[in-house]
Amino acid sequence: MSRGVSSASERLRMSLNREEGLGKLDEIVLKYGYVEGKPYSFKDHEYQIEIIKDTRSRIDVQKCSQVGASEMGVQKCLAIMAVMNYVRVMFSLPTKEMANTFSKDRFDGAIEQSDFYDGLVAAGGNAAGQKKLGTNMLYVIGTFGSKSAISVPAEFIFSDEVDFSNDVVLGKLNSRLRHAKSVDEKGNRGFRFRFSTPTVEGYGINEGFSAGDQRYYMCKCEHCEHWVLPDYFTDFVIPGYERSMAEFTVDDLRNDRFDTDNAWIKCPHCAKNLFSSLINPARRSWVAKLSDRWDHSYQVFPWDVPKYNTPPAIIKQFADYPLTSDFMNFVIGLPFMDAENSFITSKEWKDKTCTVDMWIFGLVAAQAPTVGGMDIGKTCHLFVKVKVGKGWHVIWMEKLKNTKEEPAAPRVIERYDYYRMAKLCIDAGPDITLVNQLVAARSGIQAVVYTTVSGIVPVLETKAGDVINADRTKTLTLTLKDHNSGNTFYPKQQDLKDELFEHFKTTKKIRERNADGEMKERFVKDKKSDHWVHAANYAKIAELTIEYHGSHSQALGPYTVTTAKIGEKAEKDEIGRGSKEQYSTLAGLFGMGGKRR
Ligand SMILES: [Zn+2]
């Protein structure tokens, strides 16, 4: 490739017109961008022009697959490096392996095909993770699997597939913008451009999309001349299929009565075929739903690239993504929640399941063991449940302050004894002192480490006193199922149930393709508190250890307050001592003074 005079003079010209250049990124892409041996073109991908031109400091693009979004990201990134001087640009992908492949395949491909970009790359300045283009540096990094986080400041951050990236590393990456030179009028430093397939509502790209001005690539129907936005659920038509698209499954795809070859999209206004309008770029335009918002956000649907994503081609992808959630995320480009991936948190569900009164304990606890779970922190969240028939009743939820002046250990042990817990699982941190005190005080109290456990069994316990290794995804899946089955009942106190359900809202299961192309599940959370979810999950793990490791005998022992096992170390530490007095205090606290057996 030539590194001739022309590219040098181009560079000079560009650097002189930096401000102007940033405003014409689409022209730069057309001028210098190459893909698959040909100059880059927006033909049949006209939706990209506005997104590439957009220089707002915060941009989120929620998109489906098959619309060329990654290539758009590469071209926008290179165009910015063509017009800027002395800036660092970071481009992140979910994993280190993906970053390496992406760097070689997409970036090197785009650079080598273009005389201009090739001329910008300094000799020896092109490694997989780090490239020098002119005076600028490009870092291509993975959020999982990279040993060290990049610790240099940055001016631009591009993040591809944020929903499948490591949240913590993305957060650290964003903090690299703190010393960026450019500041917009809202005080945002640097530029952050994120794009991803969505997973669940309120997480990742959907959180960003919802916070932005929510642009849709609207269509002016040539039949009725109304600006419309077609909707998969209401405007997708399959001849012969009468039910709602929400109920369409991969089995329906194989049903001959449904003519998927002739699927079409109707105009939401006049109900005529919208395709000839969708495919005409003169009839398409980005429109912000909330134009007063500062941050920009875009929703890209498959029919925004209609030449390649025709209605039959869209619906046939059910064969590749048989699960509705995957189809909605990857093919349509929308977040999707159902009972498989989210805790049901509707008011109806709260009313149905938050019915437990304290008297339950007195009634049933004599026959059945209780198990507990506790999330440890400055405030500990304790959760105690007992089996009743096929389901479980949560008979105690309590927030216990844990400070140096007021350590939680004695109170936790009182409750452990009082409820005759067969097992209490707690998290293994962050307060190691508390964890050690509790584990030493009672053999039935065990710390849990979240890990990956292979095979079907979700928990691995070696022996009493050791930590329990529990598979995070498998155990949370079981906790989710328990909740959504309607067989777990919670206290009916208003404040407790409200908080519990708020915490349940934070945690959702996403599915992502691993390196082998298999769909893997992982639980993610938004930025709000999720302590009760983990308290509930630790109680589930306690239940599982009893089921799998047969700790029943211990659990079903005769009930006497005085036989509570107080470890030698515990006595030394004066933990759990004088339990008789404490029990009366507890009974008072629980409002069951005289009724206790
Ligand atoms: Zn119409």
Q: Which of 90, 68, 85, 72 is nearest to 26 (CA)?
A: 72
CA distance 107 to 102: 7
Give the residue-averaged pLDDT of 169-175. Answer: 92
> Is-above-0.85 flag for pTM?
no
Query: Helices 5-16 and 69-83 meet at what angle, rounded to 10?
Result: 80
Residues 525 and 508 sit within 8 Å (Cβ to Cβ):
yes
pLDDT at 571 (0 to 100): 34
CA distance 63 to 48: 12
**Helices and strands (H and E) in the chain: how many:** 25, 26
The pLDDT of residue 9 is above 80? no
The pLDDT tens digits of the residues spanning 428-480 come to 988 899 999 999 999 999 999 988 776 666 776 655 567 888 899 999 999 99
- Report which of residues 425 and 356 the model is more confident about: 425
The pLDDT of residue 382 is above 60? yes
pLDDT at 7 (0 to 100): 59
Q: Which of 523, 487, 517, 493 is nearest to 199 (CA)?
A: 523
pLDDT at 517 (0 to 100): 73
At residue 36, what is the residue type?
E
pLDDT at 92 (0 to 100): 96
Question: Mean pLDDT score of the chain, rounded to an integer?
Answer: 86
Say how many Å lie between the CA of residue 234 and the centre of ligand 1: 14
Say how many Å lie between the CA of residue 219 and the centre of ligand 1: 9
Name the band, by pLDDT with cuts 50, 70 and 90, for residue 309.
very high
Say how many Å lie between the CA of residue 223 and the centre of ligand 1: 5
The pLDDT of residue 127 is above 50? yes
Say how many Å lie between the CA of residue 217 and the centre of ligand 1: 16
pLDDT at 549 (0 to 100): 56
Say how many Å lie between the CA of residue 228 and the centre of ligand 1: 8
pLDDT at 19 (0 to 100): 61
CA distance 584 to 593: 7
pLDDT at 289 (0 to 100): 97
In the numeric block, which tokens belong to residue 18? 């930096």
pLDDT at 363 (0 to 100): 61
pLDDT at 518 (0 to 100): 81
The pLDDT tens digits of the residues spanning 501-510 come to 999 999 999 9
Say how many Å lie between the CA of residue 224 and the centre of ligand 1: 4
pLDDT at 10 (0 to 100): 59
| Percent of the residues in the chain that have a pLDDT greater than 70, as a whole number | 84
CA distance 95 to 428: 27
Handedness of CA 435, 437, 440, 444 (dihedral sign): negative
The pLDDT of residue 148 is above 90? no
Give the residue-averaged pLDDT of 156-162. Answer: 96
Residues 386 and 368 sit within 8 Å (Cβ to Cβ):
yes
The pLDDT of residue 243 is above 60? yes
- Report which of residues 16 and 418 the model is more confident about: 418
The pLDDT of residue 579 is above 80? no
β-pair type (459-461, 354-356): unpaired
Handedness of CA 200, 268, 306, 80 (dihedral sign): negative
The pLDDT of residue 485 is above 50? yes
pLDDT at 151 (0 to 100): 81
Handedness of CA 441, 443, 447, 449 (dihedral sign): positive
> Within its chain, how far is the Cα of 229 from the centroid?
27
Residues 130 and 137 sit within 8 Å (Cβ to Cβ):
yes
Residues 580 and 596 sit within 8 Å (Cβ to Cβ):
no
pLDDT at 185 (0 to 100): 92
pLDDT at 431 (0 to 100): 87
In the numeric block, which tokens belong to residue 114? 């273009």
Residue tagged 């096992």 (tokens): 565
CA distance 408 to 575: 10
Say how many Å lie between the CA of residue 314 and the centre of ligand 1: 21
Residues 126 and 78 sit within 8 Å (Cβ to Cβ):
no
CA distance 323 to 251: 11
pLDDT at 570 (0 to 100): 35
The pLDDT tens digits of the residues spanning 492-503 come to 989 999 999 999
Say how many Å lie between the CA of residue 308 and the centre of ligand 1: 22
To 5 degrees, how large is the angle CA 579–CA 581–CA 583?
65
The pLDDT of residue 173 is above 70? yes
Burial call 43-63: b when 16+ CB within 10 Å, e when fewer: eebbbbbebbbbbbbbbbbbb
CA distance 61 to 69: 9
CA distance 338 to 325: 8
Lowest-pLDDT range of 78-82, 254-258, 310-314, 429-433: 429-433
Residues 554 and 444 sit within 8 Å (Cβ to Cβ):
yes
The pLDDT of residue 101 is above 90? yes
Q: Which of 342, 353, 571 is nearest to 441 (CA)?
A: 571
The pLDDT of residue 225 is above 90? yes
Say how many Å lie between the CA of residue 143 and the centre of ligand 1: 45
Give the residue-averaged pLDDT of 109-113. Answer: 94
CA distance 129 to 208: 27
Say how many Å lie between the CA of residue 76 and the centre of ligand 1: 34
| Percent of the residues in the chain that have a pLDDT greater than 90, as a whole number | 69
Say how many Å lie between the CA of residue 280 and the centre of ligand 1: 14
pLDDT at 597 (0 to 100): 30
Task: Determine whether 392 is exposed, middle or buried from the number of CB atoms within 10 Å of its CB (0-12, 13-18, 19+).
Answer: buried
Say how many Å lie between the CA of residue 310 and the centre of ligand 1: 18
Say how many Å lie between the CA of residue 336 and the centre of ligand 1: 28
pLDDT at 572 (0 to 100): 33
In the numeric block, which tokens belong to residue 242? 């009468």
Say how many Å lie between the CA of residue 51 and the centre of ligand 1: 26
Lowest-pLDDT range of 202-211, 362-371, 551-560: 551-560
The pLDDT tens digits of the residues spanning 345-354 come to 999 999 999 9
Say how many Å lie between the CA of residue 65 and the centre of ligand 1: 27
